[in-house]
């Protein structure tokens, strides 16, 4: 909360805990509904538990934080000395989290700027880090928002899933695309584009799709300074292999984060997810 500007995000940013502590970033949790249990992401349900539930074909849905949860978070930030808050969240195309934050901001004890980053996972996390770094350098709320939006504008996120069925069930990709993928027995490569998940390429085998994912990440990284995140769900070997290759092949690599996604994103992608987020500096 340097310079009295607090940075708030949500649990789908999947920021490493040391980075959150170092930059005083607070994450408001989304909820995973497993059967008749509502569980907070990050504290009450693990990615492994989620993957096991999906493999057993148990009913899994997700829900946004309530406005009241945001109100509490904003109040705690104000009580700790913040005179303004920047609240950065996953794409409003995926979740009502942004809307809940906007509602809460109206009654917050200090001014709150709520930002729909159009991002998710570490694509969102990198935006939150950019905002925090801006305030730590003495920047204002406007500076923090501009830094986050600049980072988002340059971001690329590519990902592979074993099946489009989970994205179809959650309404995150069209049924026609999902059925086409299944009918042709292709392995999909997707990208985050305009705050939405869009089909990028269809590849015949998983190994070719993952090799293509690596090529896309390397091409996007280019020769400029970039930070990279590699995400997975129940596929640690895939993630470590991709990360090792990117360490060797990206010439101006800054930070490289490797992590399993949380339960909220995992519920919509399914086990086997492999993703690469490229964030130019």
- DSSP conformation class of 45: B
Q: Which residues pair with 275 in a beta bridge?
A: 159, 231
Q: Is the confidence at residue 223, as pLDDT, over 90?
A: yes
Q: How far is CA 201 from CA 123, 164, 188, 190, 270, in A?
A: 20, 13, 6, 7, 19
- Domains and their CATH numbers in the chain: 2-30+65-153 (3.40.50.10170), 156-280 (3.30.1180.10)
What integer pLDDT is reported at residue 160 of this predicted model?
Answer: 93
pTM for this model (two decimals): 0.90
Reply yes or no on whether the pLDDT at 177 is more than 70: no
Q: What is the pLDDT of residue 170?
A: 52
The C-alpha atoms of residue 189 and residue 31 are separated, in whole angstroms, by 27
What mean pLDDT comes out for the span 89-96? 92
- Per-residue model confidence (pLDDT) at position 181: 47
Sign of CA pseudo-dihedral 141, 142, 144, 148: positive
- What share of the chain in percent tops pLDDT 70? 92
Structure confidence at residue 38 (pLDDT): 82
Between the ranges 16-25, 57-66, 186-195, where is the mean pLDDT highest?
16-25
Residue 229 host element (H or E)? strand 226-232
Alpha helices in the chain (DSSP H): 17-23, 47-55, 67-79, 97-105, 122-136, 141-154, 165-169, 175-184, 206-221, 236-249, 263-269
Residue 186 DSSP class:
P
pLDDT at 259: 92
* Per-residue model confidence (pLDDT) at position 44: 67
Of 143-147, 170-174, 229-233, 247-251, minimum mean pLDDT range: 170-174
| pLDDT band, very low/low/confident/very high, at 118 (cuts 50, 70, 90) | very high
pLDDT digits (tens, 9 = 90+) for 126-154: 999 999 999 999 999 999 999 999 999 99
């Amino acid at each position: 909360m340097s310079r009295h500007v607090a940075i708030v995000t949500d649990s789908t940013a999947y920021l490493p805990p040391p980075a959150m502590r170092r930059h005083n970033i607070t994450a408001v949790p989304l909820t995973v509904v497993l059967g008749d249990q509502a569980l907070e992401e990050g504290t009450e349900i693990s990615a492994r538990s989620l993957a096991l539930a999906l493999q057993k074909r148990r009913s899994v849905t997700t829900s946004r934080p309530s406005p009241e949860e945001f109100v509490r978070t904003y109040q705690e930030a104000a009580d700790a000395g913040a005179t303004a808050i920047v609240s950065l969240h996953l794409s409003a195309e995926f979740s009502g989290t942004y809307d809940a934050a906007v509602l809460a901001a109206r009654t917050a004890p200090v001014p709150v700027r709520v930002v729909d980053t159009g991002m998710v996972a570490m694509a969102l996390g990198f935006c939150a880090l950019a905002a925090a770094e801006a305030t730590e350098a003495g920047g204002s709320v406007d500076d923090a928002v501009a830094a986050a939006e600049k980072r988002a504008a340059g971001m690329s996120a590519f990902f592979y899933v074993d099946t489009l069925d989970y994205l179809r069930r959650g309404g995150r990709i069209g049924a026609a695309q999902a059925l086409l993928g299944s009918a042709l027995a292709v392995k999909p490569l997707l990208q985050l584009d305009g705050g939405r998940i869009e089909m990028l390429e269809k590849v015949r085998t998983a190994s070719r799709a993952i090799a293509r994912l690596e090529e896309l990440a390397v091409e996007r990284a280019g020769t400029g300074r970039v930070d990279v995140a590699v995400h997975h769900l129940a596929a640690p070997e895939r993630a470590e292999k991709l990360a090792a290759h990117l360490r060797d092949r990206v010439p101006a690599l800054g930070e490289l984060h490797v992590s399993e996604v949380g339960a909220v994103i995992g519920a919509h992608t399914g086990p086997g997810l492999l993703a690469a987020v490229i964030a130019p500096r």
